[in-house]
Amino acid sequence: MKLRKILKNIFDTYCKTFKDVPPAGMF
């Protein structure tokens, strides 16, 4: 799935940008 890959890239970028913020906090 290309959409899933795109979402994963966005998620990875988010993690790199906000390392001190838990990913769960966004949702």
pLDDT score of 16: 81
24 close to 16: Cβ distance less than 8 angstroms: no
pLDDT score of 12: 87
pLDDT score of 24: 62
Distance (Å, rounded) from C-alpha 16 to C-alpha 19?
6
pLDDT score of 14: 78
> Which value, to the nearest 10 degrees, does the dihedral of the CA atoms of residues 13, 8, 10, 22 take?
-60
Residues 1-27 pLDDT 10s? 799 999 999 888 877 877 766 656 555
Residues, the chain: 27
H/E stretch holding 10 reads helix 2-17
pLDDT score of 2: 92
pLDDT score of 9: 92
